Amino acid sequence: MNDLRRLDLNLLVTLDTLLAEHNVTRAAQRLNLSQPSVSVHLAKLRDALGDPLLLPGPRGMQPTARADALREPLRQALDALGRAVAPAHPFDPAGALHTWRIAATDYGESTIVLPALRGLRSAAPGSRLAVLELVPPRIARQAEQGEIDLAFDTSEGAAPGLRRRALFRERYVLAGRVGHPRLKRRPTPAQFSKLEHVVVSPDGGGFRGVTDEALSQAGLARRVVLSVPHFLFVISALVDTDLVAMLPSRLVRDHPGLRVVEPPVAVPGFEMAMLWHERRHRDPAHRWLREHIAGSV
């Protein structure tokens, strides 16, 4: 290691060229250097390696035994270094064998992963996709340690220190089953408050949300009779009962079993974002995955 610290990489490139040319003048031409500069490099190499390396001969400079022993390992090392610092090859999804790991809620699965899935399978048939449960406090650590490639979360709740790309803006609508007797038209705030509501509580067991904050500002409160951790269970519950729920519009649009109306109170929506760590930002495969997903939602 101490010997390596004494060597400039440029000296090793010069030595490789000298061992190929056996001539200082020709080596200087190949390296685009002056002949005196190459001679200075050779003197430094001789001092660092403790060997004359190249000696004058009848047909140019002849390598010493030490130089001959260095020739092939040096060429292989420089070739490997050249490949390491070369620009990354363009990503070819058709031949990719990647396994991508994505963290998402069931909402993110339905509104982001699912729309991108068909195109992903078509463009990169050899790839695999693992969807992990989104746990917001873990996102930054998981991304930093390479446990996940992407996460989908609200911009408002996004983990600090991660790169972020906004995907879309979401709004809330009021949903109930088709034929619900109290959703034939948009309810008044008072009628809305008397309906039996379902809320999604990701942390479990909560009975309040952004809708309740909006109602309280108008001096109203609603009846929340069911709290669940996932959105998809809510949809099943609405279809089979007279319960109603304030749900993100993308989750319920075009659902044949649900009637959707505008809520009688203004409830703030949210922005969904794609999150990833800086360490993956310039990777061609990762960049392709991000662009594919962003173009699918």
Q: Are residues 30 and 71 in the same domain?
A: yes
Q: Containing domain of residue 60, as a range?
A: 2-85
Cα separation, 19 vs 24, in Å, equals 10
pLDDT of residue 5: 63
Together in a domain, 150 and 282: yes
Q: Domain check: are 221 and 264 in the same one? A: yes
Domain co-membership, 278 together with 132: yes
Q: Which of 227, 253, 267 is nearest to 175 (CA)?
A: 253
Taking residue 81's Cβ as centre, other Cβ atoms within 10 Å add up to 13
Contact yes or no for 176/183 (Cβ under 8 A): yes
Taken in order 97, 98, 104, 108, the sign of the CA dihedral is: negative
Q: What is the structure's pLDDT at 2?
A: 44
Domain end point (choices 43, 63, 85): 85
pLDDT of residue 277: 93
129 and 248 co-located in one domain: no
| pLDDT value at residue 30 | 87
Task: Assess whether 130 and 242 both reside in one domain.
Answer: no
pLDDT tens for the chain, 297 residues long, are: 345 566 788 888 999 999 888 888 888 898 889 999 999 999 998 988 889 999 988 777 899 999 899 989 988 888 888 777 766 678 999 999 999 999 999 999 999 999 999 999 999 999 999 999 999 999 999 998 889 999 999 999 888 899 999 999 999 999 999 999 999 999 999 999 999 999 999 877 889 999 999 999 989 999 999 999 999 899 999 999 999 999 999 999 989 999 999 999 999 999 999 999 998 998 999 999 999 999 999
Strand 244-248 to strand 270-276: parallel, antiparallel, or no bridges (unpaired)? unpaired
pLDDT score for 88: 67
Domain-located, residue 90: no
b/e sequence 24-46, b meaning 16+ C-beta within 10 Å:
bebbbeebebeeeebeebbebbe
Same domain, 53 and 119: no
Same domain, 70 and 193: no
CATH of residue 287's domain is 3.40.190.10
Task: State how many domains the chain has.
Answer: 3
